[in-house]
Structure 1
Amino acid sequence: MTELKNDTFLRALMREPVDYTPVWMMRQAGRYLPEYRETRAKAGSFMDLCRAPDLACEVTIQPLERFPLDAAILFSDILTIPDAMGLGLSFAEGEGPQFARPVRTAADIEAIAVPDPEDELRYVMDAVALIRKELDGRVPLIGFSGAPWTLATYMIEGASAKNFAHSKALMFDQPNLMHKLLGKVAESVTSYLNAQIARGAQAVMIFDTWGGVLTPSDFREFSLRYMERIVEGLTREADGRRVPVVLFAKGAGQWLDRMAETGCDALGVDWTMDLADARKLVRDKVALQGNLDPCTLYASPERIEREVGRVLASYGRGTGHVFNLGHGIHPDINPDHAAAMVKAVHEQSRPYHAG
């Protein structure tokens, strides 16, 4: 196996000493890059791009050619698992994802099966292997999946939702049925991530985009318990080193202390919480990733530099911090502003790791 030339990201996730704070961006391969838009046009559609391992590899590496990022993340989508379950995923221009066959009844839930990642999701695994080969040890590769609660909401609603009416109705009126669905999705996520690790992913991240719409007790019952189940079932060593697991639940900063007890190695933090408060909440049990407001990148490079400094100061001295945006980069961001952020992180973070 090719030796990893830059393992700063992995060491930071494991709270080991580093020379500077590593940085990558959620959605770093995306529409804000003109080269991505060209490849997307060549592919024909978003899902065609996801399903072509060579093109997925190409766009995964594109941001690394522009910016000295410390990690690459697999180019894919969180909805690959529901798609592999046969729910008829499509992306309407300007409307987001849609499922032709939502899951809303006991019969619907009974009918879906846990997909084989090396069969129905083989294109993702082939992309992971190809990306790992093309990176040639340059930086670590992050694999990822959506969290069960988030995936279930899309499967039940059939599209993006504001009130999550169908999902919460099922959760409140038929909790046993919701648990049955979440159990199937959690099993699917576990096997999916383990297959990514077997193919070369060196860290994995679980995205709970809609965890923050739940009450504290519902978050623990319908989201957190399934993320914990996944963490317990993951392969935690590959290539002779630990495979770190990152959990990210948007809008769930008040529950970071509970999330830190799952056995994960790091927690993503969105921009609505100061890292100083997050660090106190988790008592340095896990690393933290984040958390610049993505809209900061609309500002001037000078202001971006100041805001980077503020985030670094909020976390403070010591290891265990991976710099990132508090959510994905917006598609109309100027790439030069992203470059200013990466440069500022690398330059300003060194004093926090000195001595």
Structure 2
Amino acid sequence: MTRPTNDTLLRALLREPTDYTPVWLMRQAGRYLPEYRASRARAGSFLDLCKNPDFATEVTLQPLERFPLDAAILFSDILTVPDAMGLGLYFAEGEGPRFERPLRSEEAIKALAVPPMEKLSYVFDGVSAIRKALDNRVPLIGFSGSPFTLACYMIEGGGSDDFRNVKALMYSRPELLHHILDINAQTVTAYLNTQIDSGAQAVMLFDTWGGALSTRAYREFSLKYMQQIVDGLKRSHEGELVPLVLFTKGGGQWLEDLAQTGCDALGLDWSVDLGLARARVGHRVGLQGNLDPGVLMGSAAGVEAEVRALLDAFGPHHGHVFNLGHGISQHAPYDNVSVLVSTVHAYSRSLRAEQDFSEVQPAAEDWVSPLILG
């Protein structure tokens, strides 16, 4: 697998030296771009956009044509996985994703099985097409939802404010939830491995709803199954390392647990102090994040100031990928995205230029948090 001409993101995720901090944005191909809205109109629906490799390629590349981003991320949806399991994904106007056949009975849960990857061939065809279209400019990131996050949608039948059906199952029939999670973990492992085989050069696991759990429940019902995926994931392809990023929204209190899984980097939401996060995990993993997406709704000067503050918080160290703390809003002015990207590149270069890297960074096992030292 040939490394891209701009491999800054891959090196940052692996905590290797970089000249500047790379940047990409969650949902960078999306409704805030007029060209995306035009593509979706031509496709007919969001699902048609996802399931057509030509359209998926088109919209994946759109933000790279507008901004000098350091990575492309596959245009798809986390719910393609349960859709392949036969739950009947559809999108209701004004309601978001829904499933025709949510898992509401013991019979339905026990019948759940790992689907053949052929049912997701349109995703893998999209990965291959995007890699070809990128022509090794920047890396391509593949992704999946975490087993628990997928289970939330599969059981609730769509989005939820309180996950009442998930938690009712968790606290009454935990063995049934474990069955769903194990099937999901097996499926996601195969799904990500096939994305890697198809050309993904880094992969990310989105645990969007893990933060809704208590600490004990998180370790039993979310972290355990992400660990299963980490253990089963292909960590290299054609001689090149394939970095893995884990992201639990609302999971800042569990960074140490996540860092011990064997992943390469952790995604952070905007509620986590970036400098303190680095102090907690040291150089064991890279960090990705974590600008509040709402910053993009303000002024250009405000965007620049907040970006600089985050880069200062992390410091002139290797192992940081700049990103939002969650997905970009459809209402974000794209001119502010341009300010964000240019500020990350320019200011991080200046920080690197001022830093003397003659001293070797400590190994993870030797690193001691200054918070512990007091």
Q: Which category describes the TM-score, using the shorter chain as reference length?
A: over 0.9
1:33 alignment counterpart: 33
Secondary structure of 2:142's match? strand
CA deviation after TM superposition for structure 1 residue 273, in Å: 1.0
1:173 alignment counterpart: 172
User: What is the CA–CA distance in structure 1 between the aligned matches of 2:225 and 2:61, rounded to whole Å?
Assistant: 32
CA deviation after TM superposition for structure 1 residue 3, in Å: 4.7
User: What is the CA–CA distance in structure 1 between the aligned matches of 2:169 and 2:282, rounded to whole Å?
Assistant: 36
Secondary structure of 2:57's match? helix
CA contact (8 A) 2:53 2:126 kept: yes
Q: Which letter maps to 1:339?
A: S
CA deviation after TM superposition for structure 1 residue 300, in Å: 0.8
User: What is the CA–CA distance in structure 2 between the aligned matches of 1:203 and 1:115, rounded to whole Å?
Assistant: 23
Q: 1:3 to 1:204 in 2, by over 3 A?
A: closer
Q: Which letter maps to 1:98?
A: R
Secondary structure of 1:26's match? coil
User: What is the CA–CA distance in structure 1 between the aligned matches of 2:252 and 2:135, rounded to whole Å?
Assistant: 36
1:142 alignment counterpart: 141
1:163 alignment counterpart: 162
1:217-266 CA-to-partner distances (Å, cap 9, x unmatched) read: 10000000100110110001013211000000000001011000001000
User: What is the CA–CA distance in structure 2 between the aligned matches of 1:284 and 1:173, rounded to whole Å?
Assistant: 40
Secondary structure of 1:318's match? coil
CA contact (8 A) 2:316 2:348 kept: no
Q: CA RMSD in A?
A: 0.9
Dislocated runs of 4+, deviation >4 Å: none
User: What is the CA–CA distance in structure 1 between the aligned matches of 2:2 and 2:312, rounded to whole Å?
Assistant: 35
1:219 alignment counterpart: 218
Q: Which letter maps to 1:58?
A: E
Map 1:145-294 → 2, pairs under 5 A: 145-294=144-293
Task: Give the TM-score of the pair, scaled to structure 2.
Answer: 0.93
CA contact (8 A) 1:235 1:243 kept: yes
2:359 alignment counterpart: none
User: What is the CA–CA distance in structure 2 between the aligned matches of 1:329 and 1:228, rounded to whole Å?
Assistant: 28
Q: Which letter maps to 2:97?
A: P
1:27-64 CA-to-partner distances (Å, cap 9, x unmatched) read: 00000000000000000000000000000000000000
Secondary structure of 2:245's match? strand
CA contact (8 A) 2:99 2:157 kept: yes
Q: Which letter maps to 1:337?
A: N
1:115-149 CA-to-partner distances (Å, cap 9, x unmatched) read: 122x1000000000000000000000000000000
Aligned length: 354
User: What is the CA–CA distance in structure 2 between the aligned matches of 1:217 and 1:301, rounded to whole Å?
Assistant: 42
Secondary structure of 2:247's match? strand
Identity across the alignment (%): 61
CA deviation after TM superposition for structure 1 residue 282, in Å: 1.2
Secondary structure of 1:262's match? coil
CA deviation after TM superposition for structure 1 residue 2, in Å: 4.8
CA deviation after TM superposition for structure 1 residue 318, in Å: 1.0
User: What is the CA–CA distance in structure 2 between the aligned matches of 1:60 and 1:226, rounded to whole Å?
Assistant: 29
Q: Which runs of 5+ in 2 are unaligned?
A: 357-374
User: What is the CA–CA distance in structure 1 between the aligned matches of 2:174 and 2:260, rounded to whole Å?
Assistant: 24
User: What is the CA–CA distance in structure 1 between the aligned matches of 2:215 and 2:245, rounded to whole Å?
Assistant: 20
User: What is the CA–CA distance in structure 2 between the aligned matches of 1:185 and 1:175, rounded to whole Å?
Assistant: 15
Q: Which letter maps to 1:230?
A: I
User: What is the CA–CA distance in structure 1 between the aligned matches of 2:87 and 2:123, rounded to whole Å?
Assistant: 18
Q: Which runs of 5+ in 1 are unaligned?
A: none
Q: Which letter maps to 1:4?
A: P
Confirm whether residue 116 of structure 1 aligns to residue 122 of structure 2. Answer: no
Secondary structure of 1:185's match? helix
1:340 alignment counterpart: 339
2:18 alignment counterpart: 18
Q: 1:175 to 1:306 in 2, by over 3 A?
A: same
Map 1:13-92 → 2, pairs under 5 A: 13-92=13-92
User: What is the CA–CA distance in structure 2 between the aligned matches of 1:122 and 1:191, rounded to whole Å?
Assistant: 12
Q: Which letter maps to 1:110?
A: K
Secondary structure of 2:91's match? strand
Q: Which letter maps to 1:282?
A: V
1:98 alignment counterpart: 98
CA deviation after TM superposition for structure 1 residue 353, in Å: 2.5
1:188-211 CA-to-partner distances (Å, cap 9, x unmatched) read: 000000000000000000000001
CA deviation after TM superposition for structure 1 residue 161, in Å: 0.3
CA contact (8 A) 1:2 1:136 kept: no
User: What is the CA–CA distance in structure 1 between the aligned matches of 2:84 and 2:49, rounded to whole Å?
Assistant: 16
Q: Which letter maps to 1:134?
A: A
User: What is the CA–CA distance in structure 1 between the aligned matches of 2:102 and 2:294, rounded to whole Å?
Assistant: 33
User: What is the CA–CA distance in structure 2 between the aligned matches of 1:133 and 1:2, rounded to whole Å?
Assistant: 12
Secondary structure of 1:207's match? strand
User: What is the CA–CA distance in structure 2 between the aligned matches of 1:282 and 1:224, rounded to whole Å?
Assistant: 17
Instruction: Indicate the larger mover: 313-322 or 197-206.
Output: 313-322
Secondary structure of 1:137's match? coil
Q: Which letter maps to 1:163?
A: D
